Structures are given as C-alpha cells and as structure tokens.
Chains A and B, each alone.
Chain A
Amino acid sequence: MGNLALSGTRTSSGALTDGMRLGAGPGAATFVLGLAYGAAASAAGWGGAVPLIFSMLACSGSAQFTLLTTLPAGGAVAAVTAAVLINARYLVMSVALNDSLRGGRLRRGLQAQALLDASFAVGHRGNGRFDVARVIGASIPQWMCWVGGTAAGLLAAPSAHLMYALGADVVFPAFFLMLALDELRKSRRAIVAAILGAGIAAALLFVTNPGNALLGATAAALIGAVHGRRRSAQRATRTS
C-alpha cells in the first residue's frame, strides 16, 4: 500500500515536472505576449498595479487584451461582456477536463483553474482523458512568464514597432502550431477535426470576433460523435 502510494506520488510529481518542461516553450511565448500587454497597458494609462494584478489573477491574454482595447471605446459593460465572451471556450474545456479530475465539486473547480490553452493540449493523453498534474505543471511556467512579461512590459515599455521588427508576433501562433503537430500525430480523426476547426474559425472571423470564432472551432470536435454513431451502426449491421 505504501509502495503504491509512493509510486502514485512519484508518477504525479513526474507528470508535474513533465508538464513544467512542456509548458516552458509556450511560457516563453507567453512572456513575449505579456511584454506586449504590459507595454500597451502602460501606454493606455492603466498604471502599474492594475495590469500586474490583473495578470496575476486572471492570467488570460485574450480577455485582458480585449478589456484593454474595448474599455476606452465601448464602455465598461460592453468591454466586460466582450472580455468574458472571448473566454467562453474555457467552459467547454472545463467540461472536457472534468472526467479526469478527482474529489468533490469544489476541489475539481479549483484544479480546473489551471486550465490554459496550451496546458489543455499538453495534458491531453488521448481518448478524451487528461493528465491533471501535467495540465497544472504546464500552467506554472506560463503563469510565471505571463506575470513576468507584464511586469517587464510595464517597466521597459518596448514600442510596438520594435516588437514587430523582431518578429514577436510569430511566437504564439508558432507554438500553437508545434502543439497541433504533436496532437495530429495521435489519429486521423484529429487531423480531420483540426482541418474542420480551422475552416470554421476562418469562416467565423468574417462575422464575429476571434473569441467567438475560437469557440465555434471547438464544434469541429463533434465529428467524434458522428464517427462513433457510424461505427455503432456498422457493428449493429454486422451482428444482425
């Protein structure tokens, strides 16, 4: 029993370390984005405390950038609504993660706070199961880099022109591509879902904001249900 518990601890801490190692790459990308966010918040006159505490508490580039850019133009209610809607995908992701979590509702809800886009991909073990320690591990360097990047951006305030010239805008999509390439090796259905997801997001970008387009892209995963239904029908035909 003791050995079992010990090996469980080892596996869990190993997964946590593994997650931290895998989260370092996306973390580097997050640092660059945090730098841009800190610089933009400083330029918008948000001061130092608000952006830094916002990064520490929310750790969400999409929502934080949305609030920063829409608050001056659209008013507080519209800006908050836009920032919340852009992160609606986390609701879908938390449902996906729930089967792999342990404990009561509150404990599960607390564990799910580690959800970040890259961590969701890094923690996916296949067949809809997630390694929660890996998800948490991957989020640690990303959180540190996001907060550190925000602080660096507030202090250094690099110009948008310099960030552009250095190709900083490549970092995030390139890391997502790296994670996608790893994910696509898992199955042919994953390739189909990715192509469909890209197509849905591409089409939705014409009519809605990137957050909603992203939420729409997750609908591509529904082909999993269609495939399952076809297989069941084939099995039923064979049996009869």
Chain B
Amino acid sequence: MLWLSVLAVTAANWAMKAGGPLALGERQLPPRAVKVISLMASALLAGLIVTNLGGTAWNDVNWQQVLGVGAAGLARTLRAPMLLAVGCGIAVTALLRHLLT
C-alpha cells in the first residue's frame, strides 16, 4: 500500500505539472491572462512565506523563527549576498533558542 500511495502521488504530481502544456499546447494566452501570470510569482512567494511560518491553522508559529526570517530579510535589504543573509537569519534564531534554554 505504501508503494502504491507513493506512485499515485508521483503520477499526480507529473500530471499536474504537465497539465497546462497538455491542455493548451501551442495556444497563446490572451494579454489579460499574461498580466495575471506576471504577478503569479509574487503572490506565490508571499503565500509560501506565510504558510511556512504559520503552518496548519497557525499552530506552527514560532517567534524565534519569525525573527530569524526577519533578520535575513533585513540583511538582504542592506545588500548582503543571499547565502550570507540566510546565514544571519539562522544564526539569530539559533542564538535566541540557545539563550532561552
């Protein structure tokens, strides 16, 4: 049953990724739809941040994690390279947790 479930999820994943191209083929989307798509990445990334921090029913909210992510964002805004900025965020969260235990 485990193998069957794994294969079913994998097949569905492939089908969803191929869904748009298989349904539309070479047909171009109308200009208005293109305008919507141009904003998709921003909306999706914002949603990913919120769902990562909140979790199911907002039960996973952890203020040390939120501060760490905020610190990473601040470092990036101050023009730190991406990896360094994320490293700052991790360090802030790890330090806070170390101090609290």
Residues of B near A200 (CB, < 8 A) are: 47
Contact, CB under 8 Å: B39 / A224: yes
B40 in contact with A76 (CB, 8 Å): no
Contacting A at CB under 8 A, from B62-78, are 62, 64-65, 68-69, 72-73, 76-77
**B54 to nearest A CB, angstroms?**
5
Q: Is the interface of A mostly helix, strand, loop or mixed?
A: helix
Establish whether residues A202 and B50, one from each chain, have CB atoms under 8 Å apart when the complex forms: yes
Interface residue tally on B, bucketed by range: 35 or more
Whether A205 contacts B9 by the Cβ 8 Å rule is: no
Whether the pair B18, A109 counts as a contact (CB closer than 8 A) is yes
**Residues in A whose Cβ lies below 8 Å from that of B23:** 95
Please name the residue on chain A nearest to B52 by beta carbon.
A173
A96 partner residues in chain B, CB cutoff 8 A: 20, 37, 40
CA distance A32 to B40 in the complex (A): 26
**Which among B8, B25, B40, B55 is the interface contact of A92 at CB below 8 angstroms?**
B40
- Per-residue contact bits, chain B 73-88, to A (CB 8 Å; 1 contact, 0 not): 1001100001101100
CB atoms of A108 and B21 under 8 A apart: yes
A214–B46 CA distance with the chains assembled, in angstroms: 9
A-side interface residues, number (CB < 8 Å):
102
Q: Are the CB atoms of A90 and B17 closer together than 8 Å?
A: yes
Q: Given the known inter-chain contacts A228-B32, A229-B32, please indicate yes or no for A89 contacting B44, CB distance below 8 A.
A: yes
In the complex, the 9 A-B pairs of residues with the closest C-beta atoms, listed nearest first? A217-B47, A94-B20, A197-B43, A108-B21, A109-B18, A167-B93, A95-B20, A224-B35, A128-B34
17 extra A-B contacts, CB within 8 A, seeds A87-B16, A97-B21, A175-B82? A54-B9, A67-B6, A91-B16, A93-B20, A98-B20, A101-B21, A167-B92, A174-B68, A174-B69, A193-B39, A201-B46, A210-B56, A213-B50, A214-B47, A217-B50, A221-B42, A229-B32
22 contacts between A and B (CB under 8 A): A50-B6, A54-B10, A57-B10, A93-B44, A94-B18, A95-B29, A99-B29, A106-B22, A113-B18, A128-B34, A167-B89, A176-B45, A179-B45, A193-B42, A195-B46, A205-B54, A217-B43, A218-B43, A220-B39, A220-B47, A222-B36, A224-B38
